[in-house]
């Protein structure tokens, strides 16, 4: 399989146990992104995995989820099974691993917020990023927008994403397109190799 140009990277957002089937904050159909992403990983020289990596006293935690005020059940606590990447997700040997949401007093949906992601991509001369993962309306959205703000050309791989609520996920796709984020499907990327 031929790789995409060296200036491209794949950012896999939060494909963690707590966001998949049986997890504390499971995204409906979240497991379905794993085989799609596994098919794309060999195309890229640079693969980034972001992980929610919350301290146990994180400000967004509540006993019951309240999506309107963005309060969530306890999830992805550092060094727990829930924070681990999905067991069937392929993890490349020289992967860039980004932990986010580590400040107990601040929510951080984006893989760029308070992390070294932009500088690590710049150090590898990456100019274009492809993004997939969980959940479309939150961490995928904010990562895509912040990637764009950081100067990267951003592509969202639509079939490699799942959202908490289908209506909001569809709105998010439209919002991102209106902001200049491009969309593609995994089969289109695979046809380039």
Q: Catalytic residue positions?
A: 14, 100, 139
Residue 54 bridge partners (DSSP): 77
Q: Is 27 in contact with 139 (CB distance < 8 Å)?
A: no
Question: Which H/E stretch holds residue 65?
Answer: none
- CA-to-CA separations, 184 to 5, 78, 191, in angstroms, rounded: 17, 33, 12
What is the rounded CA–CA span in Å between residue 4 and residue 43? 6
- CA-to-CA separations, 172 to 72, 109, 115, 142, 156, in angstroms, rounded: 20, 14, 23, 10, 11
Instruction: Report CA 78 to chain centroid distance, whole Å.
Output: 17
What is the rounded CA–CA span in Å between residue 23 and residue 88? 15
């Amino acid at each position: 399989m031929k790789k995409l140009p060296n200036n491209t990277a794949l950012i896999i957002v939060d494909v963690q146990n707590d966001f998949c089937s049986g997890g504390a904050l499971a995204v409906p159909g979240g497991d379905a992104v794993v085989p799609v992403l596994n098919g794309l990983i060999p195309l890229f020289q640079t693969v980034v995995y972001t992980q929610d990596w919350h301290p146990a006293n994180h400000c967004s935690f509540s006993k019951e989820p309240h999506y309107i005020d963005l309060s969530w059940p306890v999830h992805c606590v550092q060094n727990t099974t829930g924070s681990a990447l999905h067991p069937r997700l392929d993890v490349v040997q020289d992967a860039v691993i980004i932990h986010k949401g580590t400040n107990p007093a601040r929510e951080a949906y984006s893989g760029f917020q308070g992390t070294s992601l932009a500088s690590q991509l710049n150090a590898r001369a990456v100019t274009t990023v492809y993004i997939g993962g969980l959940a479309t309306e939150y961490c995928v959205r904010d990562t895509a927008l912040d990637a764009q703000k950081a100067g990267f050309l951003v592509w969202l791989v639509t079939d490699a994403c799942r959202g908490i609520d289908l209506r909001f996920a569809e709105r998010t796709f439209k919002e991102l397109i209106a902001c200049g984020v491009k969309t593609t499907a995994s089969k289109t990327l695979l046809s380039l190799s």
